[in-house]
A and B are shown apart, each in its own frame.
Chain A
Amino acid sequence: MGGFWSHVVEPGFFQSQTVQVALLVGGVVAAVSGVVGVLTVLRGQSFAGHALGDISATGGSGAFLLSINPLFGFLGMGLAAAGCMEAIGVRRVRGRDVATGIVLGAALGVAALFLYFDTTFHSTSGAAITVLFGSLFVVSTSTVPAIVACAAGAFAVVLLLYRPLLLSSIGEDVAAARGVPVRVIGALFILTMAITVALSAITIGAILSTALLIGPAATALRMTRRPVTAMVAAVAIGVAATWVGCLLAYDSFYWPPVQHGWPVSFCIVAVIFVSYLVVDSARWHRLRRANVPAGSQDPAAAAARPLHESSTHDAEVLGSPRTD
């Protein structure tokens, strides 16, 4: 028993300060990503979430240039981009992807420039890897309070605006008819999404941040259509995946081929992806046995047309880190 566990949890895991910070930060970020992620998927804004992550890379790389904490770079750029996308018209379904894509492309170009300056004029090493792919094991302890504060802020927005957010997610016209200020709610949500993505970028990198935002949420929405239940499930899946990812990265110290550890971001994303595949195939088998076409058994099926579109997109987004 003891021998078995010492192989599952290699010695020193819980004593390592690096691991403690990683578990704390990873847990907090995965929790807030789960909650915001479910709303993101329900609102069909997965691509915007992904774009915000990539765009925040510009802020992250700029922060290295200015020698400020990368979290504030991610945050500042993410919030600015969210405001920009909102202003350009990210609310319109038609042309929304184009507006997002244009801003995304320009921002990534600037990120490339900043990273070039980082390596040419600055002693900060590995800015590119850290910004794009992140590492929970290099988060400095001094960042922890800011991360927790941002996460609490994002939670508070979702908690306060839960009803109108959900209503406007299902149908903007219905929500508007009921007196919900759809535009303000949408703007507040995209800003919350920017904060969440910035946190996620610190945790597993800007490029992979979308995996933490969308992955657990999409998995949870495969299991249930009740938003609150889905949020709880997404939080559980996200936190579990992050912690298991940390454990795998820790244990990989003893694995071939390099004998000094696999990247923690890879481990987390791999766990998220596998859990999505498992849940999705389980659902598929269940539906096939019941001989019901996918989707039609859901109580929320009437409102779910955008949900399914977004779900297929999510699978693509999730798959991309593996092929990169």
Chain B
Amino acid sequence: MGKRRVPRPWTAAVAATSAAAVLGAFAAFGAFGALASSAGAASSGKSGTIVAVGAENEYADVVSQIGGQYVRATAIMSNPNTDPHTFESSASVSRVVSAAQLVVQNGVGYDTFMTKIESASPSSSRKVIDVQHLLGLPDSTPNPHLWYKPTTMPAVAKAVARDLTAFQPDHAAYFQQNLQIFDASLAPYYQEMAGIKATFPDAAVATTEPVADYMLQASGIDNMTPWALQADIMNTTDPSPQDVSIQDALFTSKKVKVFVYNQQVTSSVTKAFYKLAQHEGIPVVGVYETMPTPGYDYQSWMLAEADAVYNALASGKSSPKL
């Protein structure tokens, strides 16, 4: 067999070059990582400031709306370009979470890493609001995107006000006032959903993933996409050709008025649906797992999404991005 030998210096050169490239890459990413974490880390609070963490930035936003100047709220998941379902925790996340006095997390398996970090760094003074438990939902709840449920955030805001008051009883009135302001500010969002329900009863839509399903339900919308397909896309498992055919037919036979597209859980499957919907002239509404920032707070985000659905139904207007 082969008797020729590759000269040694040559091999060494290849090895040295590739090692240098790998080290260079690490250095570049390392710098990037350091920047990102210094921007995101919670400072462990001056006296008088309650350190809070929201696993998702919509919860952190509500905490800071209720707590105002007495709270410093940090969000763990806030990048609108990532899929929170596949989020991987890191040491810096553990540091932020274990330093928090108040934690708000979604539950239903959406942010299990939070529970792990909390039990790894037990603290008797830390208060944890698990939204699933707050709403009394079972672990088997199929759709984890609880913040789209219209009843969720008022309940969360109330629990936040209660816990903040426990930390700082002197500011009870302040928290209570913020709670009332928050609850009142949800009215336009509720009106928009009621408007959809009244103007377009039982409007049929297709979705990729169940992210906004609770909002669609509350707006009296009929989601025609098979649940198994939504679950497959959410859980990133192989979709069945049968379900894909059903979804394709929803577009080609124009059975649906709007295609509600999760911009944070995308794959070649969702992109193919997107193309088909565009081709068939069906308006696309982009929805998100976490609050798009900057420019939105929880209320204005929900209102913008309900608005987008309304406009798509009313005039066929596409808003693939918020």
Q: Which residues of A contact B (CB under 8 A)?
A: 10, 12-13, 15-19, 22, 84, 87-89, 91-93, 106, 110, 116, 119-126, 128-130, 135, 137-141, 172-173, 182-183, 186, 249-250, 253, 259-261, 263-264
Contact = CB atoms under 8 A, between A and B. Distances in A.
B5 interface: yes
Interface in B40-84: 79, 81-83
B241 A19 contact: yes
A261 B264 contact: no
Interface in B258-303: 263-269, 271-272
B248 interface: yes
A120 B88 contact: yes
A253 B239 CA distance: 10
B266 A250 contact: no
Interface string B115-132: 000000000000000000
Contacts, number: 128
For the side of the interface on B, what is the size category? 35 or more
B88 A126 contact: no
Interface of A, secondary structure class, is helix
A254 to B, nearest CB: 9
Contact of B264 (A10, A87, A123, A182): A123
B241 A18 contact: yes
A88 B1 contact: no
Contacts of B1: 91-93, 172-173
Interface stretch (B100-108, B164-172, B230-238): B230-238
B141 interface: no
Contacts of B240: 137, 250, 253, 260-261
Contacts of B11: 88-89
Question: For B14, B18, B231, B242, which residue has the most chain A Cβ atoms within 10 angstroms?
Answer: B242
B244 to A, nearest CB: 5
A259 B227 CA distance: 12
A121 B79 contact: yes
B133 to A, nearest CB: 27
Given A89-B2, A261-B239, 18 more contacts: A13-B241, A121-B79, A122-B82, A125-B85, A125-B86, A125-B236, A125-B265, A125-B266, A135-B238, A137-B244, A138-B267, A140-B268, A172-B2, A173-B1, A182-B2, A183-B4, A253-B242, A259-B228
